[in-house]
């Protein structure tokens, strides 16, 4: 009886520990959101913890009027659409040949090594930058899209997925006169929809979150994607991207609430999408985790 | 035979665009490694008429007084992150597995996975704010308990640990997913048999759950070897400042500063090459171990 009672303490304690862990993971974001909706006086006085004080949306109306914010938002949206679309297309078209048995594609191993080497050896930042500069891509949206357009890791995940597709289906299609293209698009792609959704989602998130390439490949701050723009505001805390009028207006709202608002906006698309697509996020990690 | 080759042609065409892009943005830069052996003048262009200086960039580099501290910082921060990144998720995965209420379980998982998907720009901005010595959230809590405020991001004593803790905070949830998947694969009848034999919960965890995760733990440990020089550029870059270079400057941030800011392309490329060669060795060894001992298959 005594043993039984002691037994029941564990689930309670366990639940408390885990709920605290869960709270620790979301509190920083909640705090930033709370600051962003607070009055500048409350924020500067450090009165805001997890709930807005003197609720106001003035920081957001200020951000909404900033041309620099919308410009970088546009760069980011263009980038995730083009970059995400291109990378999923290239993942499919690269994974299919690599998933072929050696008998039907003799160069498979050569290509596989060709892809694999890029994963384990990296030339480093400077040669990479010099090549992109030499191609004349600096300050062009293509510099943000093309260099990372072939996600080799996703290719490997998808080719493993394609291999699970029963070979008989492809052979039946060949007998019916379909070529590789038709087989790929009518058999392999429809059967891999969940995996493709996961890979697309990861590519979109990666494109949305990248900031460093924007920082070094775009000399003109007008071409910064949103995360790079936020980097200059929230991390470098530079005023270089502000117009004179904006700096004057800054007198009325605090630097801190404004920064918090933009940080929060930078995380917002992911925070909104993530709970609905969590299934895909998790599947991607399980696929990728052990293939790291 | 001819027919066979005709059948393969579409496969070559399909893979061609990816191959071209990899040549342009992965293999051409590998050729660009020659910069490390040149007195490189960017205006003359890559593969231009540069002056060759052999290993001078490397010699210069190893004589730099702060290079050794950069190496040490990199190793220390990366290894600590690897250790915490491996151990904490094991514990959390076991705890989550013990939760019987599915809604609660899902809710906890949703919360702890979230930080992984946010960028270090967003998180760096958040941490700079909440770790601020004056009005930051954490220091307000410390002050409320009567402690002295701590300048987490500006004090060399605290900075590396701040990096390690915040990285662990960001990625432990993500780390648990793989372990939880491994736990789900354990045969439930083992637990039933153990209960019949009178094993309590701790004994079940020790004798069934942990051994069931063993393969994944070993595999992740081996694969993490490749990250020994990856101290996390995105995080450090968005959280450090000149006062904490002594404890927080890592190879990647060092390369960025001497290359992109000081325009010493040759030296920066040499540092990058130094890192890449060591990493290549470590990654190859780790894959070899994984394939040999953990039955790992990449392709």
Predicted confidence at residue A236, as pLDDT, reads: 83
Q: Please state which CATH class domain B65-294 belongs to.
A: mainly alpha
Across the A:B interface, residue pairs with CB atoms under 8 Å apart total 282
| pLDDT value, residue B53 | 94
Are B130 and A31 a contacting pair at CB < 8 A?
yes
pLDDT at B2: 45
Chain A positions in Cβ-Cβ contact with residue B140 (cut-off 8 Å): 46, 49
- Nearest Cβ partner for A126 among B118, B125, B265: B265
Q: Which residue stretches of chain A have pLDDT < 70? A: 1-7, 238-253, 284-292
Q: Over A3-39, what HEC string results?
A: HHHHHHHHHHHHHHHHHHHHHHHHHHHHHHHHHHCCC
Cα(B66)–Cα(B64) distance, integer angstroms: 6
Residues of B with CB below 8 A from A282's CB? 109, 113, 177
- Can you say how many angstroms the Cα of residue A73 is from the centroid of all Cα atoms in its chain? 15
**What are the residue boundaries of the structural domains of chain B, listed by start?**
1-54, 65-294
The answer to whether A208 and A270 have CB atoms below 8 angstroms apart is yes
Q: Which of B290, B285, B16, B295 lies closest to A114 in space, CA to CA?
A: B16
Closest Cα in chain A to B10: A180
Inter-chain CB proximity B108 and A209 less than 8 Å: no
Two tokens at A64?
A: 């909404």
Helix (H) or strand (E) holding B284: helix B265-293
Q: Between chains, do B21 and A106 touch, taking CB under 8 Å as contact?
A: no
The DSSP call for residue A235 is I
Given this model, what pLDDT does residue B61 score?
Answer: 93
ipTM: 0.92
Shortest Cα–Cα distance, B4 to chain A (Å)? 8
CA distance to partner chain A, nearest, from residue B26 (Å): 6
Record: contact B137-A271, CB cut-off 8 A: no
Where are the domains positioned within chain A? 2-45, 65-288
Write the CATH number of the domain with boundaries A65-288: 1.10.3720.10
Does the distance separating the beta carbons of A159 and B29 come in below 8 Å? Answer: no
List chain B pLDDT tens, one digit each, 299 residues: 345 556 789 999 999 999 999 999 999 999 999 999 999 998 888 888 899 999 999 999 999 989 999 999 999 999 999 999 999 999 999 999 999 899 999 999 999 999 999 999 999 999 999 998 878 899 989 999 999 999 999 999 999 999 999 999 999 998 898 899 889 889 889 999 999 998 888 899 999 999 999 988 988 898 899 999 999 999 999 999 999 999 999 999 999 999 999 999 999 999 999 999 999 999 999 999 888 877 777 76
Cβ of A25 and B111 within 8 Å?
Answer: yes
Q: Which residues in chain B are closer than 8 Å to A123, comparing Cβ atoms?
A: 26, 29-30, 32-33, 272-273, 276
Is the Cα torsion angle B254, B257, B260, B263 positive or negative in sign? negative
- Tell me which chain B residue has its CA closest to the CA of residue A256: B129
């Amino acid at each position: 009886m005594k043993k039984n009672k002691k037994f029941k303490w564990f689930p309670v304690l366990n639940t408390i520990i885990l709920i605290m862990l869960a709270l620790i993971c979301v509190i920083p974001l909640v705090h930033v959101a709370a600051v962003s909706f607070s009055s500048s006086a409350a924020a500067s006085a450090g009165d805001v913890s997890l709930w807005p004080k003197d609720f106001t949306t003035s920081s957001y109306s200020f951000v909404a009027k900033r041309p620099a914010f919308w410009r970088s938002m546009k760069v980011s949206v263009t980038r995730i659409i083009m970059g995400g679309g291109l990378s999923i297309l290239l993942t499919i078209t690269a994974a299919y040949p690599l998933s072929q048995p050696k008998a039907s594609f003799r160069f498979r191993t050569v290509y596989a090594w060709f892809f694999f080497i890029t994963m384990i050896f990296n030339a480093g930042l400077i040669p990479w930058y010099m090549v992109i500069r030499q191609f004349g891509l600096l300050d062009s949206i293509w510099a943000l899209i093309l260099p990372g357009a072939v996600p080799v890791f996703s290719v490997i995940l998808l080719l493993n997925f394609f291999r699970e597709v029963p070979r008989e289906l492809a052979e039946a299609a060949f007998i019916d006169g379909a070529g590789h293209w038709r087989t790929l698009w009518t058999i392999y792609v429809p059967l891999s929809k969940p995996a493709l959704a996961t890979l697309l989602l990861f590519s979109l998130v990666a494109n949305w979150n990248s900031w460093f390439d924007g920082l070094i490949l775009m000399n003109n701050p007008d071409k910064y994607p949103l995360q790079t723009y936020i980097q200059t505001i929230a991390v470098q805390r530079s005023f270089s991207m502000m117009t004179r009028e904006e700096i004057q207006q800054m007198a009325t709202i605090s630097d801190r609430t404004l920064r918090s608002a933009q940080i929060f906006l930078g995380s917002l698309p992911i925070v909104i999408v993530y709970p609905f697509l969590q299934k895909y996020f998790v599947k991607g990690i399980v696929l990728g985790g052990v293939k790291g | 035979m001819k027919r066979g080759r005709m059948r393969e042609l579409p496969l070559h065409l399909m893979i061609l665009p990816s191959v071209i892009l990899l040549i342009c943005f992965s293999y051409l830069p590998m050729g660009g490694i020659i910069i490390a052996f040149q007195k490189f003048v960017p205006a003359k262009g890559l593969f231009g008429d540069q002056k060759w200086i052999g290993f001078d960039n490397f010699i210069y580099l190893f004589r730099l007084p702060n290079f050794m501290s950069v190496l040490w910082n990199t190793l220390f921060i990366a290894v600590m992150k690897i250790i915490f990144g491996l151990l904490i998720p094991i514990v959390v995965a076991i705890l989550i597995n013990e939760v019987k209420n599915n809604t609660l379980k899902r809710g906890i998982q949703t919360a702890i996975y979230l930080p992984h998907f946010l960028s270090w720009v967003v998180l760096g901005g958040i941490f700079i704010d909440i770790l601020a010595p004056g009005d930051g959230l954490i220091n307000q809590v410390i002050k409320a308990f009567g402690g002295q405020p701590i300048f987490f991001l500006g004090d060399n004593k605290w900075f590396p640990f701040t990096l390690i803790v915040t990285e662990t905070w960001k990625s432990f949830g993500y780390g648990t997913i793989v372990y939880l998947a491994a736990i789900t694969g354990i045969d439930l009848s083992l637990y039933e048999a153990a209960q019949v034999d009178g094993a309590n919960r701790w004994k079940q965890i020790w004798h069934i759950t942990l051994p069931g995760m063993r393969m994944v733990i070993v595999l992740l440990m081996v694969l993490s070897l490749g990250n020994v020089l990856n101290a996390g550029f995105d995080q450090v870059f968005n959280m450090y400042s000149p006062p904490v270079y002594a404890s927080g400057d890592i190879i990647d941030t060092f390369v960025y500063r001497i290359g992109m800011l000081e325009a010493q392309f040759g030296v920066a490329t040499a540092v990058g090459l130094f890192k890449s060669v060591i990493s290549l060795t470590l990654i190859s060894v780790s894959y070899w171990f994984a394939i040999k001992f953990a039955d790992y298959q990449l392709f």
